[in-house]
Amino acid sequence: MTIEQTSGDEPSHSSLGRHRSLGENLYQTIAEQIASGGLPPGSLLPKEAEMAVQYGVSRTVLREALVRLRYEGQIESKRGTGNRVVGPAIARTEPIFAPAPPHSIADLRACFEFRLGVEPNIAALAAQRADRYDLNRIEAAAAALEHVIRSGELGAPQDIAFHTAITQAARNTYYVRTISAIAVPVEIGMKVAATLAPADPKARLQTTLDEHRAILQAIRDRDPEAARVAMRHHIESSMARVFTGAAPEATGTPN
C-alpha cells in the first residue's frame, strides 16, 4: 500500500504541512492494519527501508508514524529484533492536535514547558488510579529502560513507553491523546539532551534512571503529591540538561 511517493529524506519548510499529513495518513494506515489483525500481535514489522518503499514515503515520515505507534503502546522496539506489534491502542481516537516535529531550539523549549504543565498531574492521577495491571506495565517499562541504559544505549523508545504507561494509568483519554501527539518532539528532545550533555554519559543516564525510579516508587506508594513532584523534577531536570547542561537539585515532597 502506497501513501504517496516522495523524494528525499527531509521535508523542506514549504512542504511541512504536506509532510505532517503524510505522517498522519501513514500512522492511520498502520494502526488500522494492527486493529484489523492484518498485523497481528507478536509479528515483526519490516525494516524501515523496506517499509518506506512499501508505503511510498520518506524515512522521516515513517519514523514519525513509528514513534507515535510506540508511544501509544501499539508497537515496541527490541534490541536486535526491530519493531514488534503489541496490539491495537485502547479506545484509539484521533489526536487532539496533529503531532509536529520541532524545528528549532525554541520549539524544544516550548515542548518541555508544555510537558511541565500536564505530566506532573498525569503522574498524580496515575498514583491515585493505577491498578495492578497498570503497575505491572509501568514496572515492565521501567525495567526495560534500565536494561537498555545499562547496555550503554539512550533508550528513547523505552523511555517513551514508561511515560506512556503512566499516562494510560491516569485513565483520562484527553491526556492519552495529548501525550501521543507530542511523541515526536519528546523523542527528539531526548536525543538533543544526549548530544548536548556533559562528557560523562553514564552519570547522566544514571541520574535519569534515579528520576524514573522516584516516579515509579511514588506511584507504587499511591502518593499523588510525591508522584507530581517527582515527575516535575524529572522534566525540569531533562530541560536543564538540554539548555544549561546541569540538572537542578531534587526537592522533597511538600508537607
* Separation CA 102–CA 39 (nearest Å): 30
Buried b (16+ CB within 10 A) or exposed e, 152-169: eebbbbbbbbbbbbbbbb
* Between 10 and 35, the higher pLDDT residue: 35
Q: Do 41 and 113 share a domain, yes or no?
A: no
The angle, 0 to 180 degrees and rounded to 10, between the axes of the packed helices 132-150 and 201-220 is 170
- Provide the percentage of residues in the chain whose pLDDT is more than 90: 28
What is the pLDDT, as a whole number, of residue 211?
95
Q: Do 27 and 116 share a domain, yes or no?
A: no
Q: Do 66 and 119 share a domain, yes or no?
A: no
Each residue's pLDDT tens digit, 199-224: 566 677 788 899 999 999 999 999 99
What is the pLDDT, as a whole number, of residue 198?
54
Q: Do 111 and 231 share a domain, yes or no?
A: yes
Q: Do 54 and 177 share a domain, yes or no?
A: no
Q: Do 152 and 217 share a domain, yes or no?
A: yes
Each residue's pLDDT tens digit, 72-110: 778 988 777 789 898 886 544 455 555 555 567 787 888
Whether the per-residue pLDDT at 17 is higher than 50: the answer is: no
The domain total for the chain is 2
Under a CB-based contact definition with an 8 Å cutoff, are residues 60 and 173 in contact? no
233 lies in which domain range?
105-244
- What is the average pLDDT across 50-72? 87
Whether the per-residue pLDDT at 123 is higher than 80: the answer is: yes
Whether the per-residue pLDDT at 9 is higher than 50: the answer is: no
- What is the average pLDDT across 125-145? 92
What is the pLDDT, as a whole number, of residue 176?
85
Residue 194 resides in a domain: yes
